């Protein structure tokens, strides 16, 4: 930002100005991949890898920073993973490539990715990531230098993704159907282009040893994380995609009879009635994306490496903030909208642990619910979706448990909350139970010690059966009767 922009921000949005200043002053860069000590893992000492890092900056402004801060060789591996999938996606998106040319390239892309010297210059001149494919041989060279476990994961995911992309591209080219008809078809498409990315990342995290092996098997949660991000981008990029004849919104959502649209491009008309109906269709898309929110939060709770957590959490919080920005926002139909830089900076600084991320999701869910209107056909279901995020936070991080702001982060209970009294009673009960167990353990220890010495101790708790008890009672009664008769006999004898 230039000096004039900073001054304008200070005058018009002073709180945002403060947030950005705090971010630039206090947010520390975790890693410098160009540093000499990082060369063995970042590959910066090789010209081919430096070019790959440049391509990462060119193709992904949002992911580039968080990828570079990953620990060890994870950063380089995921950089290459991203570039491979970006190259694949570029070919699939390019409408200037005929289907008979596109199909063999797509279906063999996993082979091209490890074929030395392979590159492609057939993309249209206006394709924004065209240069990546023109110099794709650089990516191939670096992929072949990866550890086998990383390389195999990347190739496997590329194979799965290219198959799905090729099927959809062929359907559009041969049937003339350029729309996704159902939500199920929409989910499957998003799985191919984003859910598989989540699967691949989870498997790479596990292979690196920085996350537990079980993370690589969390396919459902990994898929949900990918779908949340992809669907958010599809919602936000409505105008750009429609202008390029890419229609990713499923007709089952936007084509409902009460909305009255026959084509997606009809939604960007500016008359009041069209805007109202278009925002209802928009809310249906946001509702569909929100059903992946709690799965994404569950996934984040499983992560244990801080750099991996940041890598996953920051895009997730950006996604929920973007959904809130798009919701009931008529500007989204006219242009590409993004959250403000200060808001993004605040999210980056806050997205450091699962509790805080859960609270961020709850904040934006509340904002979405506050903007919802009862006349929207999706109103009830939106309320339920937002309520699920609220319930997730309350279940995992109850609001009556407070954390101190100091370094110790001690927990305290809110005395005004009724649940505090229940917790206190449970704590007292648990303490009393623990005390009883200690006493019992002490007694059992003494008894065991006496038994080892050769006899029962004073605290022997051996149980006596009913039959044995009756025998003892009968013996005692017989003894007392015999003694009584003996005493009577002696009294008679000596008094006679």
Which one from 299, 311, 361, 364 is the annotated catalytic residue?
A: 311
Contacts of residue 35, defined as CB under 8 A and 6 or more positions apart, other chains included, come to none
- For 247, which DSSP code? B
Torsion of CA 416, 419, 424, 428, to 10 degrees: 160
CA 333/CA 322 separation, integer angstroms: 14
Q: Judge whether 16 and 340 are in contact, CB under 8 Å.
A: yes
Cβ of 325: how many Cβ atoms within 10 Å? Answer: 22
CA 225/CA 206 separation, integer angstroms: 17
Cβ of 405: how many Cβ atoms within 10 Å? Answer: 8
Catalytic residue status for 299: no
- Token pair, residue 9, equals 């921000």
Burial of 56 (0-12, 13-18, 19+ CB in 10 A): buried
Catalytic residue status for 51: no
Which one from 189, 205, 247, 327 is the annotated catalytic residue?
A: 189
Half-sphere exposure of 315 (CA within 13 A, CB side): 25
Which one from 236, 239, 291, 362 is the annotated catalytic residue?
A: 236
Catalytic residue status for 246: yes
Q: Judge whether 260 and 277 are in contact, CB under 8 Å.
A: yes
Tell me how far CA of residue 280 lies from CA of 187, 266, 496, in angstroms.
20, 14, 119
Element housing 63 (H / E): helix 61-68
Which one from 31, 50, 51, 246 is the annotated catalytic residue?
A: 246
CA 199/CA 215 separation, integer angstroms: 9
Q: Judge whether 261 and 242 are in contact, CB under 8 Å.
A: no
Q: At what angle do helices 47-59 and 61-68 cross, to 10 degrees?
A: 130
Which of the residues are catalytic?
189, 236, 246, 311
């Amino acid at each position: 930002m230039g000096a004039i922009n900073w001054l304008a921000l200070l005058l018009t949005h002073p709180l945002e100005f403060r947030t950005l200043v705090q971010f630039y002053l206090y947010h520390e860069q975790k890693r410098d991949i160009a540093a000499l000590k990082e060369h063995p893992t970042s590959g910066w000492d090789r010209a081919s890898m430096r070019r790959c890092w440049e391509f990462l900056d060119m193709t992904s402004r949002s992911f580039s920073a968080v990828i570079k801060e990953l620990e060890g060789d994870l950063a380089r591996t995921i950089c290459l993973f991203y570039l491979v999938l970006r190259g694949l996606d570029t070919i699939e998106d390019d409408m200037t490539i005929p289907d008979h040319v596109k199909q063999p390239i797509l279906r063999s892309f996993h082979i091209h990715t490890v074929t030395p010297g392979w590159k492609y210059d057939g993309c249209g001149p206006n394709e924004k990531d065209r240069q990546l494919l023109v110099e794709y041989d650089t990516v191939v060279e670096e992929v072949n230098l990866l550890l086998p476990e990383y390389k195999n994961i990347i190739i496997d995911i590329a194979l799965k993704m290219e198959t799905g992309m090729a099927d959809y591209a062929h359907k559009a080219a041969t049937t003339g159907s350029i729309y996704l008809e159902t939500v199920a078809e929409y989910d499957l498409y998003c799985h191919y282009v984003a859910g598989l990315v989540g699967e691949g990342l989870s498997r790479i995290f596990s292979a690196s040893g920085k996350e537990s092996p079980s993370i690589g098997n969390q396919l459902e949660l990994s898929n949900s994380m990918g779908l949340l991000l992809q669907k958010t981008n599809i919602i936000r990029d409505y105008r750009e995609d429609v202008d390029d004849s890419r229609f990713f919104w499923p007709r089952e959502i936007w084509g409902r009879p009460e909305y009255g649209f026959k084509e997606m491009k009809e939604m960007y008309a500016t008359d009041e009635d069209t805007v109202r109906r278009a925002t209802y269709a928009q809310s249906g898309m946001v509702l569909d994306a929100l059903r992946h929110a709690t799965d994404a939060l569950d996934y984040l709770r499983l992560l244990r490496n801080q750099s991996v957590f940041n890598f996953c959490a920051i895009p997730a919080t950006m996604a929920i903030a973007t959904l809130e920005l798009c919701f009931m926002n008529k500007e989204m139909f006219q242009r590409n909208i993004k959250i403000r830089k200060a808001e993004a900076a605040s999210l980056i600084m806050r997205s450091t642990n699962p509790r805080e991320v859960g609270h961020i999701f709850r904040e934006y869910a509340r904002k979405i619910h506050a903007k919802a209107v009862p006349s929207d056909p999706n109103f009830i279901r939106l309320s339920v979706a937002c309520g699920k995020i609220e319930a997730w936070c309350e279940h995992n991080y109850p609001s009556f448990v407070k954390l101190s702001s100091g370094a110790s982060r001690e927990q305290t209970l809110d005395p005004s909350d009724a649940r505090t009294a229940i917790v206190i009673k449970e704590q007292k009960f648990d303490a009393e139970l623990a005390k009883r167990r200690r006493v019992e353990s002490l007694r059992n220890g003494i008894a065991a010690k006496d038994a080892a010495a050769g006899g029962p101790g004073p605290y022997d708790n051996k149980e006596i059966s009913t039959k044995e008890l009756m025998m003892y009672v009968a013996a005692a009664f017989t003894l007392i009767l015999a003694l009584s008769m003996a005493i009577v006999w002696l009294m008679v004898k000596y008094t006679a």
